[in-house]
Amino acid sequence: MKIQVIDASNPLWSETLEETLSHDFYHLPDYAALEARWIKAVPEAIRIEQGDRLFFLPYLLRQCSPLFAESPSDVFDVVSPYGYPGVLINDAAAQDAEFLNQCMQALLQFFRDRHICSAFVRLHPILNQQFADQYEGEGCSFHSETVSVDLTLPAEEIWRQTRPEHRNKINKCKRAGFQAQVVPVETGLKSFTEIYAETMDRVGASQFYYFDDEYFLQLAQALGDHLHICQVELDGQVACAGLFTECSGIVQYHLGGTRNTFLKQSPMTLLFDFVRSWAKERGNTSFHLGGGVGGAQDSLMHFKTGFSHQRQRLFLLRLVVDSSIYQSLVELRAKALNTSAEQLLDSTFFPAYRSLDTEVSKATCN
């Protein structure tokens, strides 16, 4: 096997994306670089080749030493960029389950050699279903379901799959004069950031879901034509807005929100309905809405399921690469939190040594 580590500035990263079956915006080097800056990590990708078969994984490399005063300075872990990057393969690799398992073994050995003690990877709900079914190693588990719209269906069928309650709200919004449109990013970004912050405040979101204006500007620069803003207006006021991405036939709902004063009218139903039609007209094949917060069966998930009958399985890779170092870091974290290592390990937060006080008993992954 030929193994290469690629940094985000290397043209081979983008060239590799073109060799795979398909990719999403999460896999773009500029997006990985943005996320790395945001969490103070190093953006990298690993490319594994054997004959005509190809395996590709983007990730963010983090030092563990800032977490602990006592930890070794040369211990690292890796995490996916925000969202659902997962692994990418080409057509030949997709036909060879043994190759995929060999790649994962080679990946684990490569991580061990680089003093990487754990890896947390979110698999792509659309692109990685086959990989999740074929991978036979430990650490891969089903996490939750997400919602997607099959844009290859006739428009009448897409509308039929819409929950009656949503259809009523969409029609009421239209009769009330609400209008949805995709606007240039530079035009809609200011309103979006205001609405998004207002929404996060309203729902009591964790700090993880807050992004400042500079982040959104950098996101727009990193994604370029892949990023779109859709907003719903009434009488010149923006009632709700969302960020949507478009890449390789997949449209993703990324982030969004509604102004407090328009909650009762639920203009977000009109926004999603509009984006479904817009995405289909542009020749895309899938509109992925995502799931609940942290994969929970919450009100957000309930809202999204009202737009489609189609569900995607979200799998996670929680890989303990070096068990002895992992255990020692968990014990250090437990000591700092005045709890036991067993309690941290019993929680579903991964890696357990990055748990915070408020996360010890929560089902969370980071």
253-264 pLDDT, tens digit each: 999 999 999 999
Q: In the chain, what is the straight-line distance between the N-terminal and C-terminal CA atoms, in Å?
A: 31
**For residue 240, how far is the Cα from the chain centroid?**
22
Mean pLDDT for all residues in the chain: 94
Fold of 2-137: Aminopeptidase (3.40.630)
Q: So what's the pLDDT on residue 347?
A: 86
Nearest residue to 256 (alpha-carbon basis) of 244, 247, 264: 244
Residue linked to tokens 């290592």: 341
- Range list for CATH 3.40.630.30 in the chain: 147-313
Which of 143, 68, 116, 61 lies closest to 323 in space, CA to CA?
A: 116
- Whole-model pTM: value is 0.93
- 364 pLDDT above the threshold of 70: no
Is the per-residue pLDDT at 72 higher than 70?
no
pLDDT score, position 358 = 43
Query: Average of pLDDT values for 53-77?
Result: 90
- Where residue 207 falls among pLDDT bands split at 50, 70, 90? confident
What average pLDDT score do residues 204-230 get? Answer: 93
Q: Which fold has domain 147-313?
A: Aminopeptidase (3.40.630)
